[in-house]
C-alpha cells in the first residue's frame, strides 16, 4: 500500500497570519479580541498571541457580520449572543453559496 502524506494543519496561528487571512491590520484583530469575548487567543510569556482554528472561525463570523453585512459592533455582539448557532449556520450557508457562485462564474468565463 503506497504511503499517503497527511495534510498538516497548524494548531496555532500568529496574529500576523490571522490578519493576512482577512486582509486587515493586526490592530483590528486585537480590537476585536477586546470587543468579542468569543476570541480567546493563547498568549506566551512575551504576550504574543496565538490563535486556534476555533478563534479563526469566530473571527470569520465577526468579519462577515461587521465587514460584509455592515453591522455595527453592538449589532454583531447582540446577534452572536442571541442566536450564536443560527449565526454560525447562516455564515456557513452564505460562504458555501459564495464559493459555488465563484466556481460557476469561473466555469462560465472558461467556456
**Locus of grid cell 462560465:** 108
| CA-wise closest residue to 71 among 81, 59, 82, 63 | 63
Cα dist. 94→47, 60, 102, 105 in Å?
35, 12, 12, 16
| Of the listed ranges 12-26, 56-70, 71-85, 95-109, the one predicted with least confidence | 95-109
What is the pLDDT at residue 69?
A: 86
pLDDT at 44: 93
Give the per-residue pLDDT at 91.
60
Domains in the chain and their CATH numbers?
Answer: 13-110 (1.10.1660.10)
Mean pLDDT for the stretch of residues 11-36: 94
**pTM exceeds cut of 0.75:** no
**Cα gap 13→52, rounded to integer Å:** 7
89: confidence class by pLDDT, cuts 50, 70, 90 = low
Do 26 and 56 meet the contact criterion of CB atoms below 8 Å apart? Answer: no
Amino acid at each position: 500500500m503506497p504511503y499517503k502524506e497527511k495534510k498538516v494543519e497548524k494548531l496555532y496561528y500568529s496574529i500576523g497570519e490571522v490578519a493576512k487571512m482577512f486582509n486587515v491590520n493586526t490592530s483590528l484583530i486585537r480590537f476585536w479580541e477586546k470587543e468579542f469575548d468569543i476570541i480567546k487567543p493563547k498568549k506566551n510569556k512575551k504576550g504574543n498571541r496565538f490563535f486556534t482554528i476555533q478563534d479563526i472561525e469566530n473571527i470569520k463570523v465577526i468579519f462577515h457580520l461587521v465587514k460584509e453585512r455592515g453591522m455595527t459592533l453592538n449589532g454583531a455582539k447582540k446577534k452572536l449572543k442571541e442566536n450564536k448557532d443560527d449565526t454560525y449556520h447562516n455564515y456557513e450557508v452564505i460562504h458555501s453559496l459564495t464559493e459555488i457562485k465563484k466556481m460557476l462564474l469561473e466555469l462560465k468565463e472558461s467556456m
